[in-house]
Amino acid sequence: MTEKEQLQVEAIKNGTVIDHIPAGQALNILKHFHILDNNDRITVGFNLPSKANGHKDLIKVENVRFTEEQANQLSIFAPNATVNIIEDYKVVNKRNIDLPESVTAVFKCPNSNCITNVEKTAVTNFKVINKNGKIQLKCRFCEKVFNKEIVTDNI
Ligand SMILES: [Zn+2]
């Protein structure tokens, strides 16, 4: 890690840093995970230089610790993201994320006839299918299968 990258990661005292997000996906993540709904201080970097991918986005959320489940759900948007838990300016937990088996209460079902859209209180749940690297999401309620972009773009 270069000195510059270290500064980007360690600039908050306590919280979560999501690094190595594909450029352009940070806004999607902020919306779907309702990160902006709280009063936590959030810093977002767009199009930061990245050795691996050319450009990347980065999100820092103060005073919020992402659970392992939340971290794994990020991989729908950012398969190579790293989630760093920060305590007292130090990274206390750095993990690579794995594709989850399912995603609960993050995405709306694109099927307008789906019970989750008819009864607004129903909590959505999608089974995650990895078809040779192509990610599909299957709604547990209407059982329709969608390419992940259709689900993630449906806000
Ligand atoms: Zn559905």
The pLDDT of residue 32 is 85
4: pLDDT strictly greater than 70: no
What are the DSSP calls for the chain, one per residue? --HHHHHHHHTSSSEEEEEEEETT-HHHHHHHTTGGGS---EEEEEEEEETTTEEEEEEEEET----HHHHHHHTTT-TT-EEEEEETTEEEEEEE----SEEESSS--S-TTSHHHHSTTPPPEEEEEEETTEEEEEETTT--EEEHHHHHT--
Q: What mean pLDDT value characterizes the chain? A: 88
Instruction: List residues, by chain if needed, whose CB lies under 5 Å from ion ligand 1.
Output: 109, 111, 114, 139, 141-142
What is the whole-number distance in angstroms between the Cα of residue 59 and the centre of ligand 1?
Answer: 30
The pLDDT of residue 137 is 96
Model's pTM, two decimal places? 0.80
Comparing C-alpha atoms, which of 120, 122, 98, 111 is closest to residue 145? Answer: 111
DSSP 37: G
Domains of the chain by start residue, with CATH: 15-96 (3.30.70.140), 102-153 (2.30.30.20)
The pLDDT of residue 9 is 47
What six digits make up the tokens of 118?
Answer: 């008819």
Q: Give per-residue pLDDT as tens, 110-145.
A: 999 999 999 987 799 999 999 888 899 999 999 999
Q: Which residues contact 6 (CB under 8 A, 6 or more apart)?
A: none
Q: What are phi and psi of 84, to 5 degrees?
A: -110, 125
* pLDDT-wise least confident of 2-6, 61-65, 99-103, 128-132: 2-6
What is the whole-number distance in angstroms between the Cα of residue 18 and the centre of ligand 1?
Answer: 29
The pLDDT of residue 3 is 52
Q: Give per-residue pLDDT as tens, 30-72.
A: 988 888 887 888 999 999 998 876 899 999 999 999 988 889 9
> Which residues does the annotation place in the binding site for Zn(2+)?
109, 114, 139, 142
